[in-house]
Chain A
């Protein structure tokens, strides 16, 4: 068994200034690594949802969730089961397009990946794509040969399938 598994931690937190700092600070202070963190509003007005991707063995993960739970501004913490979790990320890719041929090729790739072209300039195309991080990686690899000028990724956010909430 791989001891250092990647975990998706979903946390409901009070939607107010400083909470991100409390959470991020806790990770640094205790020597846990955050690979990714996304924050946004939740279904409840005063609460925000954080999705944290972190690597560590079971013991580290247990400590992380317990320590997170201790923060007064954190309402709920759950380690999502990857089997029944949907994970999505948004990525914007600005690709260099030197020729008309490249341009149509890139558009085709984007279509195959159900991406959209959201901006065009004489020398660039910007693709918007959502999906699992793996799918996004695949598209990035494909268009890399044309020359990527910029990538902006949100990092994954996640939610359990079915009736289950955290």
Chain B
């Protein structure tokens, strides 16, 4: 068997059905095998979209996404997507072509040091120097990508290795003596955490992306219900708890819900699960949850104590540790678990500051657009976002009810992520509707892949929230840089309706309240790719916590659903009032 065949065979052995890629010189042997293989290959129009699509595929389904790019520029074009997957712990296997082994190091045509470049942005990477290494390498790559803290793995494949003949042997058990992720939490630590939680008066759970990655949503809801603890989430944790559940407070952080930001400040016990305390989530570390003891559960030991000092660390998989906690806490006396007064206090406050969504303004307010979008889609619709205001509006105003249904580039904040990720999500989950919410800036970075969704008939709905500017950067310029709008005006953006139509894709412009709902319904019904250009108010600002400030220092008007006279003030709950 040739190396190229071995790659395809090994991918099929791993259960891979679809790969996203773009061929090139050194990949000719591999693509020659792909030509009549049963592996489905989606030809993207830029390698970056292959990586984002593989990432979206992985996030939507929990299966491992695979992307392929050629050597040199093909590999460097994958980089942004690989780094995006790395920051958000998404299991992606990226295969990059490489010049023949004899040419490596000679600055050959389209040669780049892919291993060196991807070292800091992958969980691990491999270079195959002999064809016989391929089966074991691919098996290991999939194992590493999808276990422990998930993450991308790169395989660098020189051209001659793809052509080399060898005796194919099914990969035996893989040996990775340096890789043994801890999945089960230490029982003593679990007991300590349980004790701390039972002794607290005002517990809050902070759920991160780890809940979604480990499939622990059910356990999260059971545990939070058991101890009457409200749940806030990081951006990556959005959807880990149904956000229409009374226990859910919505997202925390720089653009978080007012309730979450103020409650975190008051709580006396913070249980963080699968969240890495990014600066966007915590604001000023000195101010963050300053009244609370912190339990930190994470599968990656290096996350514990990295940003925030922790009282009880537990290294382990979210689902497994939550089950253990449920067991231990379950045996405690009922009155110890009772934090219902605290919960009521929190919910009462939450009800005073639910963000206002209904606006009849023209140009449209993003809140109104998101409200109509929410009403038009089902609960199992997968929504992806781009990065910037569109993302934070969605994170703040959109009610996500299920895990893996809100997909966004959190850590790296990659503009151009939303649309190709939606493409990948739709391939992974063909029975779910998929909607990408993008900004005009980010969408323009990847719009060439309209050709891909057209060619393969991938029915994603693309909503471009079109304010003709780089909204988030201009928001900062307005607030912190004396309104000097340096290079954030995208006035010369194309007519997105015509752009889509030139790819043969139906498109429509939405400008008035009510139109969004109808158009989204129509777009989903069409079961074809569809673009909606939503003209929105360019001056709308999302309330925010300035960089480096404590989470309670929210600036910008926080418009609420039910107006009450005067400013909404939060009164911390008296410690003596809580259950014991």
Which residue numbers of A lie inside 8 Å of B, CB to CB? 13-14, 18, 21-22, 25, 29, 59, 62-63, 66-67, 69-75
Contacts and interface: CB of A to CB of B under 8 A. Distances in A.
Sorting the interface of chain B by its residue count into under 10, 10 to 19, 20 to 34 or 35 or more gives 10 to 19
B302 A70 contact: yes
Interface in B92-141: 115-116, 119-120, 123-124
Nearest to A65: B302
A66 B305 CA distance: 11
Given A29-B120, A72-B123, A72-B179, 13 more contacts: A18-B115, A21-B119, A22-B119, A59-B305, A62-B305, A67-B302, A69-B301, A70-B302, A72-B124, A72-B144, A73-B178, A74-B178, A75-B178
B348 to A, nearest CB: 40
Nearest to A13: B178
B498 interface: no
Contacts of A13: 178
Interface string B291-305: 000000000111001
A146 to B, nearest CB: 43
A3 to B, nearest CB: 15
Contacts of B120: 25, 29
A56 to B, nearest CB: 14
Interface of B: 115-116, 119-120, 123-124, 144, 176-179, 300-302, 305-306
- Across the A-B interface, give the 4 residue pairs with the lowest CB-CB distance, nearest first: A66-B302, A72-B124, A75-B178, A72-B179
A29 B121 CA distance: 11
Contacts of A21: 116, 119
Given A72-B179, A73-B178, A25 B302 contact: no
A29 B300 CA distance: 18
Most buried by B among A14, A22, A70: A70
A69 B305 CA distance: 15
Given A59-B305, A63-B302, A66-B301, A72 B119 contact: no
Contacts of B176: 72
Given A18-B115, A21-B116, A22-B119, A72 B305 contact: no
Contacts of B116: 21
Contacts of A59: 305
Contacts of B177: 14, 75
Contacts of A14: 177-178
A103 B569 CA distance: 85
A41 B176 CA distance: 19
Contacts of A63: 302, 305-306
Nearest to B115: A18
Contacts of A72: 123-124, 144, 176, 178-179
Contacts of A67: 302
A21 B179 CA distance: 18
A21 B113 CA distance: 13
A29 B115 CA distance: 16
A63 B302 CA distance: 6
B431 to A, nearest CB: 36
Contacts of A25: 119-120
Contacts of B300: 70
Contacts of A71: 178
A14 B144 CA distance: 16
A64 B149 CA distance: 18
A18 B144 CA distance: 18
